[in-house]
Amino acid sequence: MKKFLVLGVLFLLPILAYLFFSSGINNFAKLPVLTEKVEDIRDLENNRDSIVSFQNKISIVAFFGNDLAALKGNTFNLDKKILEKFYEFDDFQFVIILPKEAKPQAQQFVSEFNNITNSSYWSFVYAEPEEIKDVFKSFKTNLELDSNLQTPYVFIIDKDSNLRGRDDDDNEGLLYGYDSRSVSELGNKMNDDIKVILAEYRLALKKYNSKLNTK
């Protein structure tokens, strides 16, 4: 029995070690900054009673354009795989940037989604087409908005208005945004990366508090 136990341990340990390190590469480092200081949205119209800004928030940002109906499935994927896990974090927000003419669609969109999620956490920002293009351009990605000012890719902006992503992704190399059409990409890559950035801020807060306690 001891012989089989030792052999089992020797066989399983390398496999477990491989799975541990290969699945958690990003967990041991900060999530890379791909673009510094993207354009803020604080001066744009929104559906809140207060200013919506990238500053001091971890933001998931979507450009859903004029045709919101075409992105219902993508939003459902995003909500179930990412957003509902993090809605209650005070420093976390989901920002949807839309043309002003899409406001009636957005209101209908929210009322429909209230049946399956808490869309009250969503912040809608409305802008003129050129303003939307300027914000997106400031992200400096390898992606583009289509003629409806939309993209299925969603982005992580940190508390300092920096675009975060991966600089060594196995498939893309530079991964600026996460494809909301892909349940796998949201559930694996994006979910992992949001956990990394949250852990990063928690660690920074612990260090700050420990310094205060030692004074």
- Is 73's pLDDT higher than 90? no
What pLDDT band is residue 18 in, cutting at 50, 70 and 90? very low
Q: Does residue 14 have a pLDDT over 70?
A: no
According to DSSP, the residues that pair with 99 across neighbouring strands are: 127
Report the mean per-residue pLDDT for the chain.
Answer: 85
The pLDDT, as a whole number, for residue 210 is 60
Residue 39, judged by CB atoms within 10 A of its CB (0-12, 13-18, 19+), counts as: middle
> Per-residue pLDDT for 23 more than 50?
no
Q: What's the confidence (pLDDT) of residue 27?
A: 43
Q: So what's the pLDDT on residue 113?
A: 83
What pLDDT does 185 receive?
Answer: 96
SS3 label, residue 63:
strand
pTM for this one?
0.83
| Residue 34 φ/ψ region, left for φ over 0, alpha for ψ in the -120 to 50 degree band, beta for the rest | alpha
Collapse the DSSP code of 88 into the 3-class scheme (helix H, G, I; strand E, B; otherwise coil) and give the result: coil
**Ordered domains of the chain (ranges, CATH):** 24-214 (3.40.30.10)
Whether residue 26 has pLDDT greater than 90: no
* pLDDT at 22 (0 to 100): 43
pLDDT tens for 148-185 read 999 999 999 999 999 999 999 999 999 999 999 999 99
Q: Which helix H or strand E contains 105, and what residues bound it? A: helix 103-113
Across 132-156, average pLDDT = 97
